[in-house]
Chain A
Amino acid sequence: MRTLRTNVLVYLLLALGAIVSLFPFYWAAVSATNESGKVFAKPPILKPGAKLWDNISNLDKAIDIGRVVSNSLIVVTIYTALSLMICTMAGYAFAKFKFKGRDALFSAFLLSMMVPFHALVIPLFKMMAAWGWLNSYQALILPNLAYPFAIFLMRQNMQAVPDAMMEAGRIDGVGEWKLFTSIILPSVKPALAATAIFLFMYQWNSFLWPLIAASSKSMYTLPVALSSLFGLSRIDYGQVMAGVTIATGPIIVFFLLLQRHFISGVLGTAVKE
């Protein structure tokens, strides 16, 4: 009897937690479809309205949302592809080879995870300014391409690849690069997916660096554009909520599709060490 009662209580508490976790998303999406002033309506409006297109077209007038979304997409796509490749190669070297300086180098990467981005931001800004790269895609993409946590994730997962697989390839005379691309990579596909999601989310949500390095309106990424709208003295809430929904919607869909990989691949790996 006692366990039945506690079970019901546990489910109730969990359901309450789930509602609290999900409600703000729902409310943001609903507010994006209602008239601007209605976010403060009494009683609150919790049903979708018909103003979504009005809000989006206002948003477009204010910040050229098409341009902003494509800036974000360009930066995130190129960043994720390059970083995944670089970090996977590094993780492979750390996991599957013995060489001089390996442990020291790996420790250096791990230790750098403790360094706050704030400690890099001023030199990075000065470098980009000196190269004339402020307000460019490369300024947004280059820092953090060698992402220590992604290297760590790939190393952990590569360690599970049996050495026998590599040796068999080498005996057959497969070259090192071919060995890596056609034998190693296919065997760590879930880890690649997990790391890719991690990198994608990191860059999609990144704020401080784009705020500093891409301050001209035509180079705004989504978080910077939203922040600038929200900083205005007269805020159009419908517009802002439409922007928030555009910024969160795709990443939620992306996450839901791949969440199994992400949760076990990223967080599971982090804990095992």
Chain B
Amino acid sequence: MRTKSYIPYLFLTPAIVLFAIFMVYPILYSFLLSFQTSQGGEMTFAGLDNYRRLFSDDIFFTALKNTFVLLVVQVPIMLFGAIVLASMLNSIKRWKGLFRVSFFMPAVTSLVAYSIIFSIMLMEDGLINQFLGALGIKAIPWLSDPIWAKAALILAMTWRWTGYNMVIFLAAMQNIPESLYEAASLDGAGRFKQFFAVTIPQLKPVILFTAILSTIGTLQLFDEPYTLTKGGPSDATLTIGMYLYQTGFRYFDFGYASTLAYVIVVLIAVVSFIQFKWTEEKA
């Protein structure tokens, strides 16, 4: 049976049309905008001015640094925690489903909602400091100290995303052949050693997948710092995503904001490529 050759295109038409208008066109348009500046309400071509401006823009470098600190600290902690949780969950027999749902639950809440909950819990006289106080630990200035504010963001993001990644790891663990563990155990490897000798190497492609997803997410981080710390104190948690929003929609400097958008695009491409190469080499 031959089907008419135009049939698949008919099924694809709505997706292609929408994709062209709301994805391809904006990508190209913002690329153009990144070379323009606004002159009395009119956009004019400005060559590389916006890109040059980046290098003398202290706020940009602060935002860049903050974003990378969050990325480098938060993603490894979260992924490691997720793998540990997943392998614990994989080793038990009862209540597996219950635990899985509980750990996943944070990932269904809106970013704004959980940021608000954490912001209130982390306030000076909030719940978390009260809890620490009960353990004999002095109140921590979560939202008013530049370093602790980053820690607050990391804490909240880890709460929100660890279960999500855990579920991905758990699904992947079910594909690891039992015989590998049996062989390791015959060689005298305990649970702990098996984790590093079998589980981690076997999960490598999935670790790469989740690392890239988390990297993309963190490089465009916006909702959490906007709500939880409002970028403060004194820009300590300002991310590139937030800086772009401020530039574009508070100062309406669309040209420079588009340049910042392309910085994020390039960073995502470069960091993903490095992670990809790095994992490939080690495998």
Task: Give A residues with C-beta under 8 Å from B.
Answer: 6-7, 10-11, 13-14, 17-18, 20-22, 24-25, 27-28, 31, 39-40, 42-44, 85-87, 89-90, 92-94, 97, 99, 102, 105, 108-109, 112, 114-127, 142-146, 151, 167, 170-171, 176, 180, 201, 204-205, 207-208, 212, 222-224, 226-227, 230-231, 237, 240-241, 244, 247-248, 251-252, 255-256, 259, 263-264, 267-268, 270-271
Q: Are B121 and A24 in contact (CB under 8 A)?
A: yes
Q: Which residues between 122 and 150 of chain B lie within 8 Å of chain A, taking CB atoms?
A: 123, 125-127, 130
Is B103 positioned at the interface, with any CB of A under 8 Å from its CB? yes
A240 to B120, CA, bound (A): 10
A168 to chain B, nearest CB (A): 10
A97 to chain B, nearest CB (A): 4
A residues in contact with B18, CB < 8 Å: 86, 142, 145-146
B269 to chain A, nearest CB (A): 7
Q: Are B26 and A24 in contact (CB under 8 A)?
A: no
Q: Are A86 and B109 in contact (CB under 8 A)?
A: no
A residues in contact with B125, CB < 8 Å: 40, 42
Q: Are B22 and A119 in contact (CB under 8 A)?
A: no
B100 to chain A, nearest CB (A): 7
Sorted nearest first, the 10 A-B pairs with minimum C-beta distance are: A123-B26, A97-B8, A90-B15, A205-B110, A123-B29, A93-B11, A18-B102, A223-B112, A120-B26, A116-B220
A residues in contact with B25, CB < 8 Å: 123
Q: Which of B9, B12, B223 has the largest number of chain A CB atoms within 10 A?
A: B12
A120 to chain B, nearest CB (A): 4
Is B241 positioned at the interface, with any CB of A under 8 Å from its CB? yes
A47 to chain B, nearest CB (A): 14
Nearest to B87 among chain A residues (CB) is: A10
Interface size counted on chain B using CB atoms at 8 A = 89
Q: Are A11 and B92 in contact (CB under 8 A)?
A: yes
A127 to B22, CA, bound (A): 9
Cβ contact of B264, chosen from A25, A112, A119, A244, cutoff 8 A = A119
Q: Are B227 and A90 in contact (CB under 8 A)?
A: no
Cβ contact of A7, chosen from B92, B106, B109, B265, cutoff 8 A = B92
Q: Are A207 and B111 in contact (CB under 8 A)?
A: yes
A62 to B166, CA, bound (A): 39
Q: Are B16 and A116 in contact (CB under 8 A)?
A: no
Q: Which residues between 90 and 123 of chain B lie within 8 Å of chain A, taking CB atoms?
A: 91-92, 98-106, 108-114, 116-121, 123
B residues in contact with A144, CB < 8 Å: 22
Q: Are A248 and B106 in contact (CB under 8 A)?
A: no
Q: Are B99 and A14 in contact (CB under 8 A)?
A: yes
Q: Are B127 and A44 in contact (CB under 8 A)?
A: yes
* Contact bitstring B66-108, A, C-beta under 8 A = 1, else 0: 0000000000000000000100110110000011111111101
A102 to B16, CA, bound (A): 12
B122 to chain A, nearest CB (A): 11
Q: Are A122 and B85 in contact (CB under 8 A)?
A: no
5 A–B contacts from the bound complex (CB under 8 Å): A27-B127, A116-B265, A118-B222, A119-B258, A145-B22
Q: Which of B29, B117, B121, B163 has the largest number of chain A CB atoms within 10 A?
A: B117
Q: Are A25 and B116 in contact (CB under 8 A)?
A: no
Q: Are B117 and A244 in contact (CB under 8 A)?
A: yes
Q: Are B254 and A120 in contact (CB under 8 A)?
A: no
